[in-house]
Amino acid sequence: MSEKSIGKEMLEKLSYKKRNVYEEATSDEIKAIYDYAVGYMKYLDDAKTEREAVVASIKLATNCGYTEYKLGDKVKVGDKKYFNNHGKSLILFRIGENDIEKEGIRILASHIDSPRLDLKQVPMYEDAGMGFLKTHYYGGIKKYQWTAIPLALHGVMIKKNGESVEIVIGEDDSDPVFYINDLLPHLGARQAAEPLGTAISGETLNILIGGLPYNDEEVTEKIKLTALSYLYEKYGVTEEDFLSAELSLVPAYKARNIGFDGALIGAYGHDDRVCSYPALTALLDCQSNERTSMVILADKEEVGSMGLSGMQSDALVDIIDEIAIALGKNPKVVRHHSKCLSADVNAAYDPNFADVYEKRNSALLSCGAVISKYTGARGKSGTSDASAEFVGFVRRLFDENGVIWQSAELGKVDAGGGGTVAMFIANHNIETVDLGVPVISMHAPYEVVSKADVYSTYKACAAFIK
Ligand code: MN
Ligand code: MN
């Protein structure tokens, strides 16, 4: 019997079920998904800090005809511009022909900072035959995950004369890497009995940087002097230059395929480059001249979005206002009619830790971009909560454009929670909802995503701004 029963027909018509992108994809679509991941994985390797993400993004934008915009510059229809905010965040926009007072600006906002270990300003010392650097962690990390893995040093030092020195050590195969010591299990009984959260303290996240004493009987801290003389020879910097430096330790891992089938990607910093790259490439690939659209690559999301490169800065509103005024429009009306996808990652349901998830309302790996109507914690505290109307609008848009997507919140009620930049954008009277990629082991030194979800997020971003 080939005909469906009435009950089965009714079930298909009336009930909702998540769809798996890979299950529904043709072989051509799977090839497109895998091909797109190649560019993303290169971006991951090129852009491990927000500064590097700004540089890598400008390079991609310049190749697509984008030129630099400085506050105060005039803009006109057809312009494709980027605003480099102190080298740490980036706002890109293209001005379309449509009336922005009527339809506003379509905005994709993501962040390019990731959890890591920053150096303190007076970091260097030696003890017991080893040279070390002191760190202060940045963002929400599980400290035990950062010991006994290879680390790379990234950042800038500003010398006394104002000259800026860029440092990247540990990414090239011929480079040395750095390391955080951990206790051997033979002596680790007491440590093993500690809760995970306190077994490794912040002040033990010290970076091992060497062991060769400087060859001079007259000096005391010989290993430290070897390190300082290396830095002086290679970069012309002194210990005092650490005072005006931003140096970070990030995992010295490259992005790699995960698994026999290569369906997944392992990398440092998926959160939130896995949304930044789709948002950026959707804008750069956009061929329509109708809509005015914008991509924000923000800094400081992992520590609260404060400061001039964070999403709470006035930079976004300043630029929207400048665009509106240049086109002879009322900026307040433009913002009122603008729409934003706050593109940030979500926690993928993990059967290994099922007890913190509520499966029906969790993001499933490979089931597409995730819309989170609200985020927050303890009774939706700290969320902007997108309206049903706006979610309905996005839903129609995705359905019309063949985007497979899912709806989820982060974990069980009261299991924890988290926020995104959505509320800071919505505070400007811009309709905003969260959209992003499900991540396994979020905030770990090596996180995992599905290529299918990355591509689905690209399609979602492209549909939103076209
Ligand atoms: Mn994030
Ligand atoms: Mn995060």
More confident residue, 384 or 92: 92
Q: pLDDT-derived band of residue 383, with 50, 70 and 90 as boundaries?
A: confident
Statement to judge: residues 342 and 412 lie in one domain: yes
Task: Tell me whether residue 382 is in a domain.
Answer: yes
- Ion ligand 2: residues, Cβ under 5 Å: 271
| CATH label of the domain that carries residue 430 | 3.40.630.10
Ligand 1 midpoint to CA 288 (Å): 29
Ligand 2 midpoint to CA 73 (Å): 34
Ligand 1 midpoint to CA 345 (Å): 5
Statement to judge: residues 88 and 143 lie in one domain: no
Q: How far apart are the C-alpha atoms of 205 and 128, rounded to whole Å?
A: 16
| Tokens encoding 306 | 């404060």
Statement to judge: residues 362 and 349 lie in one domain: yes
Q: pLDDT-derived band of residue 377, with 50, 70 and 90 as boundaries?
A: confident
Statement to judge: residues 179 and 128 lie in one domain: yes
> What is the tally of structural domains in the chain?
2
Statement to judge: residues 124 and 102 lie in one domain: no
Ligand 1 midpoint to CA 425 (Å): 15
Q: What would the pLDDT profile of 296-353 be if each residue is shown by its tens digit?
A: 999 999 999 999 999 999 999 999 999 999 999 999 999 999 999 999 999 999 999 9
Task: Tell me whether residue 387 is in a domain.
Answer: yes
| E strand residue ranges, 12-79 | 67-68
Q: What would the pLDDT profile of 402-448 be if each residue is shown by its tens digit?
A: 999 999 999 899 888 888 899 999 999 999 999 999 999 999 999 99
Kindly list the distances between the CA atom of residue 91 and the CA atoms of 41, 315, 398, in Å, as whole numbers in the listed order: 22, 9, 24
Residue-wise DSSP of 302-337: GGTS-STTSTTSTHHHHHHHHHHHHTT--HHHHHHT
Statement to judge: residues 360 and 290 lie in one domain: yes
Q: pLDDT-derived band of residue 1, with 50, 70 and 90 as boundaries?
A: low
Task: Tell me whether residue 4 is in a domain.
Answer: no
347: closest CA among 417, 395, 396, 292?
A: 417
Statement to judge: residues 274 and 230 lie in one domain: no
- Mean of the pLDDT values across residues 195-223? 97
294: closest CA among 106, 430, 466, 424?
A: 106
- Ion ligand 1: residues, Cβ under 5 Å: 271-272, 344
| Residue-range definition of the domain harbouring residue 350 | 17-114+268-465
Burial of 152 (0-12, 13-18, 19+ CB in 10 A): buried
Kindly report the pTM of this predicted structure.
0.97
Kind plus residue range of the DSSP H or E element containing 271: helix 270-285
Ligand 2 midpoint to CA 346 (Å): 9
Helix/strand/coil for 286 = coil
The percentage of residues in the chain with a pLDDT greater than 90, rounded to a whole number, is 95
User: Could you tell me if 168 and 250 are in contact, meaning their C-beta atoms sit under 8 angstroms apart?
Assistant: no
Statement to judge: residues 236 and 97 lie in one domain: no
Statement to judge: residues 312 and 461 lie in one domain: yes
Ligand 2 midpoint to CA 169 (Å): 24
Q: How far apart are the C-alpha atoms of 10 and 403, rounded to whole Å?
A: 24
Q: What's at 456, amino acid-wise?
A: S
Q: Which residue has the tokens 């890591």?
A: 116
Ligand 2 midpoint to CA 243 (Å): 27
**Ligand with the closest atom to the CA of 272:** 1
Neighbours of 385 (CB within 10 A): 16
Single out the residue in 218, 251, 284 at which a domain terminates.
251
| CATH label of the domain that carries residue 207 | 2.30.250.10
Single out the residue in 220, 251, 282 at which a domain terminates.
251
Ligand 1 midpoint to CA 161 (Å): 36
Single out the residue in 203, 222, 251 at which a domain terminates.
251
Cα torsion at 428, 434, 440, 443 (round to 10°)? 0
Q: How far apart are the C-alpha atoms of 406 and 366, rounded to whole Å?
A: 10
- Mean of the pLDDT values across residues 108-126? 98
Q: What would the pLDDT profile of 35-89 be if each residue is shown by its tens digit?
A: 999 999 999 999 999 999 999 999 999 999 999 999 999 999 999 999 999 999 9
- Mean of the pLDDT values across residues 160-165? 97
